[in-house]
Amino acid sequence: MTPKLIDSHAHVSFEGFADDLDAVLARAAAAGVDLMLNVGTDLASSLRARDFAHAHPQVWAAAGIHPHEADAFDDADWPRLAALWADPRVRGVGETGLDYYYDLSKRERQRALFRRHLEAAGGVGRPVIIHCRDAFDDLFALVGEVGLPAGGVLHCFTGGPAEAERAVAMGLHVSFAGIVTFKNAGALREAAALVPDDRLLVETDCPYLAPVPWRGKRNEPAFVVETARKLAALRGISYEAVCALTYANTVRLFGL
């Protein structure tokens, strides 16, 4: 039997999949991708993710405001966002977080909205899905202040061993995407080798960041297989073992 995997972070209801979505989902199933978490990045995409999860039993949803979208988000829409977390098919708060690399929203606004997501997550009992780029100190400070009563994950992790150790110490899971297969990702691969078995997740972040050998092409859930194979090699365990532990971790964290 083909080992089963969960793509713990995808954006399959984005426009980039509109023309061949059925084929994308079929390829995922053929590759052993049993479940996937489809993640919103603003209110509109979060609503679509919710609707998509209701239409596809193998897909779950998450709802939140990406730091890139923080300035554009209208606070008057917060009740509409918060209502999504009560939906049984919506299993995560986010993605949210901080991005100081692109700085597409003001940093103060990013921090304020990230705090609001963290505070809301405890109330609704959903884990937080966290984006972080060049902002680990501020991000860890906010997580430390607010806490993680329902857990959380640093998705598409881009740090090194020190950041991974800090994340684990704070109670976070750490999820690796296709970047770990890139030749210039030495520090990231070191981190991937040391995250404890019970905190490891795997994802595509599709349609972005396709792993080798598809680097530069549109990513899709089936390609999570290559990231899992790389994690197995880095950790000195079998591909089947990576599939089993990341599957169990994702089910437990998100209550799937």
* Percentage of the chain exceeding pLDDT 90: 97
pLDDT tens per residue, range 16-61: 898 999 999 999 999 999 999 999 999 999 999 999 999 999 999 9
Residue span of the structural domain in which 169 resides: 5-254
Question: What CATH number should be reported for the domain holding residue 74?
Answer: 3.20.20.140
What pLDDT does residue 81 have? 98
Number of domains forming the structure of the chain: 1
The closest of 25, 20, 87, 93 to 56, measured between CA atoms, is 25
pTM of the model: 0.97
Query: Which positions ≥6 away from 255 have C-beta within 8 Å?
Result: 91
Q: Which residues fall within 8 angstroms of residue 72, CB to CB, at 6 or more apart? A: 42, 105
The CA dihedral of 87, 65, 205, 159, to the nearest 10 degrees, is -120
Angle at 86 between CA 153 and CA 221, to 5 degrees: 45
